[in-house]
Amino acid sequence: MRRALVVAVLLFAVAAPLLAQDAAPPPAQPMEEEGPRFTIFTKLFRGIGNIIMSPFEIPVTAFTVAAEADVFIGASVGSFAGACAGIERLGCGAMDVVTFLFPPYDRPLINYSIGKSPTGAAAINTFPREL
């Protein structure tokens, strides 16, 4: 009889916490926001990507200007506009790498893609195809 009482007490001691967890509702967790999360690594890798992609601004912008205006304009003015955009991308990439520990992480310094620089658009608008 004593052994049965000890077994019942031990069984209750083991089962009580398990049953109590099922009875209590889980604590309310705040909903996480949907969408991308920006961290220091986002800024660091964006800077490294800008540094790597900066030399490619020259041929891509030259080709874009040549396709929109003229081959000679693309080879001369487009190459110069691409060099300017490449220097800008290199500087912004270096700035992102140097300051990747400091916020803001979600605002890139350059908001255009390769070959779509404002200098290339200015070259196309300055030298239209009709000239």
pLDDT in tens, 57-105: 999 999 999 998 889 988 999 999 999 999 999 999 999 999 999 988 8
**Distance between CA atoms of 16 and 89, rounded to whole angstroms?**
64
User: Where are the chain's structural domains?
Assistant: 53-125
Q: What is the pTM of this model?
A: 0.69
pLDDT in tens, 35-58: 678 889 999 999 999 999 999 999
> Side chain identity at 120, as an amino acid letter?
G
